Structure 1
Amino acid sequence: MVSLPEELRVREIAARQRVEELQVGVAELELRLEEARESLSRLEITRETVAQVLAELSAPQGEQDVPVRDAAESIETSAPHGIGAMTVPPWRDGLVVAVLPDVYRDMVEVVADAPGPLQAKQIVPRIGLPATTGKIEGTRAKLKRLVERGWLDEDTPGRFTLARRGPGRDRFNP
């Protein structure tokens, strides 16, 4: 039979080991938290820089000095996934297709060159992707994003055209 003082000593040793293990875990978590904060800081700076560059690229000549805060606000959105910068900015007068990411720019150019409305399945091979269901659905989602942001119109469901007020109508249709 084990004596009560001996049992308490064994439990005390076990509890002390558990405390030491938890302290090591806390130290590791503090290190990971600091790394995550540093990464967040770099991402915030990158987002602000990208916003400023996009604003400068899309600003009419003579308006190149856009404050960083204004540039960031012009591109930010409250996205449900928590990311604060848009890769596809909303279209507005003076904004050129060149500010779009490559794949979005390609889609707008394909739609602009078409004689009429196009479906996603028609656009996919023209931008160099295989005509698989996944690529078609991904492209459709991107096309709808372009509609939401004013670059394209979708008058008939699933059929996309250049926005009537849109991006460089004069550039694509003289």
Structure 2
Amino acid sequence: MVSLPEELRTWEAAARQQVEELQAEAAELALRLEEAREYLSRLEITRETVAQVLAELSAAEAEPEVLAGDVPEVNKVSAPHGIGVMAVPPWREGLVAQVLPDVYRDIVEIVADAPGPLQAKQIVPRIGLEATTAKIEGTRGKLKRLVERGWLDEDVPGRFTLARRGPGAKRPNSR
């Protein structure tokens, strides 16, 4: 038969082990909680930044056109709304590529510097992306948007050039 003091030691050892296991779980949960809080904070900051950028783009579209040499002033405090924002404005006389979002501006500059028409798969590595199907298709969408807004032409399907401007400029397949 087991003595009472030995039985208490056994129970005490089991309780001690359970406490240690729960402390380890609590430490793991505290670490996961901290990581989740950091992730949430990054998302909140990203959302606020995107809202601010969209609001500034919207405000810039409401202002007179930006001509070559003009630098739009960045508003430090703005009311973020972002509804109905057109990130790629339609091209019009005197408008420069600097008004475009970075990736669109890079695409226009790459196409402008090219000796001939470019395909999306040729542009993707030049803007610093991996040449995967998803990145190529995303870039093709951006190219099509630039065509719709008058920044680029697509005379041959899938081949993009800088838009021809002025009287007599034919754009047979630019839509």
Length-normalised TM-score, structure 1 = 0.50
Give, as a single letter, the amino acid of the residue that structure 1 aligns with 2:40: L
Q: C-alpha deviations, 1:110-138, integer Å up to 9, x for none? A: 3356687521344357x377xxxx53757
Aligned length: 143
Task: Give the deviation of 1:13 after TM superposition.
Answer: 1.6
Who is 2:69 aligned against?
none
Question: Is residue 2:50 matched to residue 1:50?
Answer: yes
Q: Which runs of 5+ in 2 are unaligned?
A: 65-74, 149-153, 167-175
Length-normalised TM-score, structure 2 = 0.50
Helix, strand or coil at the partner of 2:16: helix
Who is 2:79 aligned against?
67
Who is 1:106 aligned against?
106
Q: Which has the larger radius of gyration?
A: 2
Q: Which runs of 5+ in 1 are unaligned?
A: 76-88, 164-168
C-alpha contact 2:119 2:160 (8 A) present in aligned 1: no
Who is 1:37 aligned against?
37
Identity %: 49
Q: C-alpha deviations, 1:13-38, integer Å up to 9, x for none? A: 23432333323431442244135324
C-alpha contact 1:119 1:160 (8 A) present in aligned 2: yes
Who is 1:18 aligned against?
18
C-alpha contact 1:108 1:152 (8 A) present in aligned 2: no
Who is 2:131 aligned against?
135
Q: Residues 52, 8 of structure 1: CA spacing in aligned structure 2 closer, same or farther, 3 A cutoff?
A: same
Q: Distance in 1 between matches of 2:113 and 2:165?
A: 8
Give, as a single letter, the amino acid of the residue that structure 2 aligns with 1:26: A
Q: Distance in 2 between matches of 1:97 and 1:44?
A: 30
Helix, strand or coil at the partner of 2:160: strand
Helix, strand or coil at the partner of 1:140: helix
Task: Tell me how large the CA RMSD over aligned residues is.
Answer: 4.6
C-alpha contact 1:143 1:152 (8 A) present in aligned 2: no
Q: Residues 47, 29 of structure 1: CA spacing in aligned structure 2 closer, same or farther, 3 A cutoff?
A: same
Q: 1:113-152 maps to which residues of 2 (within 5 A)?
A: 117-123=117-123, 127=126, 134-135=130-131, 137=133, 140-147=136-143, 150-152=145-147
Q: C-alpha deviations, 1:66-125, integer Å up to 9, x for none? A: 521x13x567xxxxxxxxxxxxx7535589854423x44222333356687521344357
Q: Which has more helix, going by share of residues?
A: 1
Q: Which of 37-46 and 113-122 deviates more?
A: 113-122
